[in-house]
């Protein structure tokens, strides 16, 4: 086997040589990816990409400028290093390699991003269902140009206000349970005008102010709207807000579509980062075993790997919650172990696949089947609920703490012991459920015949109230809606615990 040279400086030829070997190795593990497009960029370009939520192109907004300024400042002062890589869920899959990286780091990034993340984007059901990798870049170009045109026509201020309001609701602009249509630029464009005309007509219909015929039965006038509560606030506003102009609806739609695109990423942090980390670790180690890598290269990327999967314990200065890289990496690694060398405990917990690769030819990678299944069909919440093993809980020394407002103390509700594993796993799984992380807010009703006010309802989970900034967000809702907005915070029994009413500035 030929050894790849291991200087610290990279060159184009060398990256291609490494890429060839990484690709061949990944193919042996049957990693299914989109075609790869590697791009060398400078640190400044990395900061640009950082600031616009990792995308190579995006519409303009001051908040991205803020992000850029903060990133640049921290980077220049040496407070933080830049991420080594950014990878875009697109087809072809674009991975950025930063100019400053050493050869070892470029190899790590290629294995991590171009094969790890890439195969995750292509395989995971959430990404397959909710995003269309083939058209995202085109759609963002369209979004940028559209927003630009609106700025020219209606003024930067008007567009900025609208985007501010949409961004405030971005997390509540996704369909959580319903499968949305895939994003397709051609269709979007073809239908835009049609849609605008149709939408306006629908809205006019809804808000018809002509007197009702006297012989109509009374109950129709009190029909409930919307008939069912709606979870996607931005969608509801796009379709039903009475005063928005067609271009404003289109911008609401753009923000909504972008939010939808990022929704799977927010739900698969542990899985996605863990998967990519597991694969750079596996691929580069295999290459070393095959005699391709020099010791110096190994030591360098391993050091970086060790930093990435470091989990500071609670109370440590660097502690800020569970490290998704560490947890995900540990879980996939443990799954592989359970397939290959299970203990009695594993057989009890995972009867379906414990020992499935036992005795098989190591070259056949029989454990791949389980890992592939686990990668494809879950999100963080269900992945942890299904696959977090007692061994990983012990290794991380996980423990759950209950913070009850009514109690003067915290209570340790479960630890990594026989009686705690299940409850610990459930608690952690819930912790990664976006539905419980973010307040559950739905469109409850619209007063069609009265003041046209919109009522939102927050259903409390574990009695947790809304945060202080709620009124600020409601101002944005009111701006979009154009009429008063109410928010009721309701506990599971149905009692209203908190209430807000905001009248849009335009009506004051």
Residues 35-54 that bind other proteins (CB under 8 A): 35-42, 44-45, 47-48, 51-52
In angstroms, the CA 110 to CA 36 distance is: 9
Stretch near other proteins under the rule CB under 8 A, chosen from 187-195, 236-244, 394-402, 444-452: 394-402
| 284 contributes a contact to other proteins by CB under 8 A | no
- Residue nearer to other proteins on the CB measure, 272 or 427: 427
CA–CA gap between residue 255 and residue 315 (Å, rounded) = 38
Nearer to other proteins, 261 or 421 (CB): 421
Distances (CA, A) of 465 to 22, 407, 440, 445, 491: 50, 16, 11, 21, 9
- Could you say which of 469, 493, 494, 508 contacts other proteins (CB under 8 A)? 469
How many beta carbons lie within 10 A of that of residue 493, not counting itself?
A: 7
Q: How far is the CB of 467 from other proteins (least distance, A)?
A: 4
Taking each helix axis from N to C end, the angle separating 380-387 and 368-376, rounded to the nearest 10 degrees, works out to 140
CB nearer to other proteins: pick between 370 and 460? 460
Distance CA 406, CA 21 (A): 59
Tell the smallest beta-carbon distance from residue 437 to other proteins (Å): 8
| Residue 63 vs 184, nearer CB to other proteins | 63
Interface characters, 298-337, with other proteins (x: CB under 8 A): -------------xxxxxx--xxxx---------------
Chain center to CA of 21 = 31
Instruction: Provide the pairing of β-strand 454-459 with 440-446.
Output: antiparallel
| Sheet strands (E) in 197-317 | none
Q: Please report how close the Cβ of residue 80 comes to other proteins at its closest, in angstroms.
A: 14
CB of 160 to other proteins, least distance (A): 7
- Residues within window 203-242 making contact with other proteins, judged by CB under 8 A: none
Q: Which of 303, 386, 462, 499 binds other proteins (CB under 8 A)?
A: 462
203: tokens are: 């809205």
Of 174 and 357, nearer to other proteins (C-beta) is: 174
> How far apart are the C-alpha atoms of 311 and 396, rounded to whole Å?
8
Can you tell me the distance from the alpha carbon of 367 to that of 358, in angstroms, rounded to the nearest whole number? 9
> What own/partner pairs with CB < 8 Å and gap ≥ 24 does 462-470 have?
463/405, 463/491, 464/439, 465/489, 465/497, 465/498, 466/439, 466/498, 470/500
Pick from 402, 449, 505, 506: which binds other proteins (CB under 8 A)? 402
Q: What would you measure as the largest C-alpha separation in the chain, in angstroms?
A: 89
The residues in 150-189 that bind other proteins, with binding defined as CB under 8 A, are 156, 160, 164, 167-172
* Least gap, CB of 450 to other proteins (angstroms): 25
- Give how far Cα 288 sits from Cα of 33, 294, 389, Å: 23, 7, 29
User: Smaller CB distance to other proteins: residue 198 or 410?
Assistant: 410
33 touches other proteins (CB under 8 A): no
> Does 15 contact other proteins by CB under 8 A?
yes
Residue count of the chain: 508
Residues between 95 and 154 with contacts to other proteins, criterion CB under 8 A: 97, 99
CB 331 within 8 A of CB 388: yes
Nearest CB to other proteins, comparing residues 342 and 458: 458
Nearer to other proteins, 72 or 196 (CB): 72
Please tell me the count of residues contacting other proteins according to CB under 8 A. 99
Segment holding 110, helix H or strand E = none
User: Which part of the chain contacts other proteins (CB under 8 A), choosing from 205-213, 331-339, 371-379, 406-414?
Assistant: 406-414
Using DSSP, state whether 34 is helix, strand or coil.
coil
**Closer CB to other proteins, 249 or 475, in the complex:** 475
Q: Determine, following the binding rule CB under 8 A, whether residue 409 of this chain makes contact with other proteins.
A: yes
245, 289, 358, 463: residue in contact with other proteins (rule CB under 8 A): 463
């Amino acid at each position: 086997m030929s050894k790849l040279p291991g200087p610290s400086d990279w060159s184009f030829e060398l990256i291609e040589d490494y890429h060839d070997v990484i690709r061949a190795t990944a193919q042996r593990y049957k990693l299914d990816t989109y075609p790869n497009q590697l791009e060398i960029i400078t640190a400044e370009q990395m900061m640009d990409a950082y600031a616009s939520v990792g995308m190579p192109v995006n519409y303009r907004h001051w908040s991205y400028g803020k992000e850029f300024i903060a990133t640049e400042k921290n980077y220049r002062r040496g407070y933080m290093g830049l991420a080594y890589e950014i990878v875009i869920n697109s087809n072809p899959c674009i991975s950025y390699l930063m100019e400053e990286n050493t050869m070892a780091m470029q190899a790590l990034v290629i294995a991590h991003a171009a094969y790890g993340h890439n195969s995750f984007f292509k395989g995971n059901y959430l990404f397959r269902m909710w995003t269309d990798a083939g058209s995202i870049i085109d759609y963002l170009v369209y979004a940028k140009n559209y927003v630009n045109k609106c700025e020219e026509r209606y003024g930067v201020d008007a567009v900025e206000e609208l985007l501010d309001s949409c961004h405030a609701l971005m997390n509540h602009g996704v369909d959580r349970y319903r499968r949305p249509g895939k994003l397709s630029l051609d269709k979007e464009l073809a239908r835009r005008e049609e849609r605008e005309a149709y939408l306006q007509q629908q809205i006019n219909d809804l808000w018809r102010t002509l007197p009702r015929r006297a012989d109509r039965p009374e109950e129709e006038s009190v029909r409930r709207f919307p008939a069912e509560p709606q979870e996607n606030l931005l969608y509801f506003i796009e379709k039903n807000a009475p005063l928005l102009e067609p271009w404003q609806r289109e911008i609401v739609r753009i923000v909504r579509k972008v939010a939808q695109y990022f929704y799977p990423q927010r739900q698969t942090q542990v899985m996605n980062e863990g998967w990519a980390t597991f694969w750079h670790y596996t691929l580069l180690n295999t290459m070393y075993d095959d005699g391709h890598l020099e010791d110096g290269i190994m030591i360098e990327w391993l050091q970086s790997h060790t930093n990435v999967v470091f989990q500071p314990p609670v109370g440590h200065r660097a502690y800020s919650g569970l490290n998704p890289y560490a947890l995900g990496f540990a879980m996939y690694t443990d799954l592989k172990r359970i397939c290959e060398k299970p203990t009695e405990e594993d057989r009890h917990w995972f009867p379906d696949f414990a020992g499935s690769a036992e005795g098989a030819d190591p070259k056949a990678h029989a454990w791949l089947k389980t890992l592939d299944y686990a990668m494809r069909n879950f999100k963080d919440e269900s992945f942890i609920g299904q696959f977090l093993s007692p061994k990983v809980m012990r290794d991380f020394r996980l423990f759950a703490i209950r913070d009850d407002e009514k109690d003067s103390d915290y209570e340790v509700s479960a630890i990594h012991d026989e009686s705690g594993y299940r409850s610990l796993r459930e608690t952690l799984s819930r912790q990664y459920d976006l539905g419980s992380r973010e307040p559950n807010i739905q469109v409850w009703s619209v007063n069609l015949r009265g003041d046209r006010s919109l009522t939102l309802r927050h259903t409390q989970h574990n009695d947790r109230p809304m945060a202080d900034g709620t009124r600020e967000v409601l101002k944005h809702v009111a701006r979009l809606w154009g009429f008063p907005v109410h928010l009721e915070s309701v506990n599971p029994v149905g009692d209203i615990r908190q209430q807000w009413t905001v009248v849009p500035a335009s009506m004051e």
